[in-house]
Amino acid sequence: MKQNDLPSLLLLPFPPDPLTRASLSAAYQPSLTAALERVKRPTGAAKLVVAVACPVLHGQYLRSKTLSWPEAQALVAGLYGIISVVCAQLSIGTEMSGGPGSVDTTVILIDHERNKRYTDDFRPAIEPNNTVVVDLATFASAYFPWNCVFQVRSELGLQVYQMYLKFAEGKQTLRQDQLIPVEGGLTMNVKGDPSATPAQTSTYPVVCLGGTFDYLHPGHKLLLTAGALLLQVPRRGDPAPPCQYIIGITGDEMLRNKMFAEYVQPWEERARNVITFLAQLLELSNRGWKDGAQPQIEEKAGDFRATFRDGTVRVECVRIQDAFGPTITVEAIGALVVSGETRSGGEAVNEKRAERGWRTLDVFEVDVLDSEEISDEATKTENFTSKISSTAIRQQKAQATATTKI
């Protein structure tokens, strides 16, 4: 893999407390703007991993971690919202494999405590837990090599950066010009009761969600990440079967009446992009992505499957031809992730399952990527949403094609 084709890394220090869209923007927008401007390439698509260090997991033992799903997904949603606003302002494409001038950005939460101390004989290694969130040492051991590493110019940013470099030692030799400081924002921390922890969320052996996933963009990435956070990953050595992440992807036939339908990506391409994105969240290899290998996809009865983390996580992309998909054919599903647009679909699914005498699903709704609390400019949410939607991307493709024919 060529140097320019490697992803770059932006290490963000701890999020503000309390966490709001406005406080996130104040803390992170300067750093994200600088990194996105730097990695954008006129000759091809670029990749950026935004890793946020935060104490997202709770639990004394590595094998029994828990998290607060509402807090975790709100942080991911806020970051993808800022990324979308910045990209709209800088005319940067946000979809996966978007071509010249686009940046395919992935947000990853890294479990890290600000005051955690390590002994001198500590050796970083890949140590997964029972969630998809990993600690900083595991992240450094599995995510490499990088094109550039961006470090936030602040006291907290420097602390996280130095700890990361210590853990990543020996993984990649980074030149000085690959280590790039960027401006940090304003982070306010108003601590409440230090002993209070948010309610912890149950995780599930089988999680499901659905969508079109046409031209995979930040809204899709938020949904897919939010679902992955609910997975109950079997512990290493446990005889339990792998957790299942079932993703219903709308079949081509159901999309024929979409606007600019001729530019809708084929189901196979959409499913492959979903698995490629999830591989960044789920796969852990001590070789990183040195070999540049794509996820191994098994095709069965027209559907796509892939396994990660030594077979403990299985992703299944299935074709859906109706509003229910696998939610009314797979009884073992425990959780359904929806957006505000598909909330009513979750209610309909549970009615159907109740009719069958099945357990109803726990429904989790992700936040909206909203610009009104992020942008300092008079950016209307409706206009902002139209810029990052699959329909808008197809429209741009259509307009580009029409221009070349003139």
Lowest mean per-residue pLDDT among 7-16, 170-179, 311-320, 391-400:
391-400
19 and 52 in contact (C-beta within 8 Å)? no
Which of 36-50, 182-196, 353-367 bottoms out in mean pLDDT, i.e. has the lowest? 182-196
How much is the mean pLDDT over the chain?
90
pLDDT of residue 376: 45
> Between residues 125 and 302, which one has the greater pLDDT?
125
- The answer to whether residues 253 and 322 touch, using CB atoms and an 8 Å cutoff, is no
End-to-end Cα spacing for the chain:
37
DSSP string, 259-304: TTGGGSPPHHHHHHHHHHHHHHHH---TTTTTT-PPP--EEETTEE
Q: pTM of the prediction?
A: 0.92
Strands 46-54 and 57-58: unpaired
Residue showing tokens 């726990």: 362
Closest to 27 measured CA to CA, from 233, 180, 189, 238: 189
R_g (Cα) of the chain, nearest Å:
21
What's the confidence (pLDDT) of residue 341?
79
Ramachandran class of 351: left when φ > 0, alpha when ψ lies in -120 to 50, beta otherwise: alpha
- Distance separating alpha carbons of residues 308 and 295, to the nearest angstrom: 9
The pLDDT, as a whole number, for residue 303 is 95
For 395, list phi and psi in degrees, rounded to 5: -60, -40
Rounded-to-integer distance, Cα 377 and Cα 371, Å: 9
**pLDDT of 373 above 50:** no
The three-state secondary structure class of 307 is strand
Q: Regarding predicted confidence, which is higher, 384 or 222? A: 222
Is the pLDDT score of 378 beyond 50?
no
Average confidence (pLDDT) over 290-301:
85
Q: Give yes or no for residue 26 having a pLDDT over 80.
A: yes
| Digit-coded pLDDT (tens) for 133-170 | 999 999 999 999 999 999 999 999 999 999 999 999 99
Q: Residues for the chain: how many in total? A: 406
Any idea which residue has 């800022």 for tokens?
82
Is residue 116's pLDDT more than 70? yes
Q: Which of 99-108, 261-270, 288-297 has the lowest mean pLDDT?
A: 288-297
pLDDT surpassing 50 at residue 381: no
Q: How confident is the model at residue 256 (pLDDT cuts 50, 70, 90)?
A: confident
Mean pLDDT of 235-250: 91
Q: What is the pLDDT of residue 46?
A: 97
- Quick one: pLDDT band at residue 62, thresholds 50, 70, 90? confident
Least confident range from 49-53, 315-319, 346-350: namely 346-350
Residue range 182-237, pLDDT digits in tens: 999 988 776 555 567 899 999 999 999 999 999 999 999 999 999 999 999 998 77
Amino acid at 83: I
**Percentage with pLDDT > 70 across the chain:** 88
- Average pLDDT, integer, range 307-333: 95
Task: From residue 277, give the alpha-carbon distance in Å to each of 44, 54, 162, 297.
Answer: 18, 22, 28, 13
DSSP state of 367: P
Count of Cβ atoms closer than 10 Å to residue 300 Cβ:
9
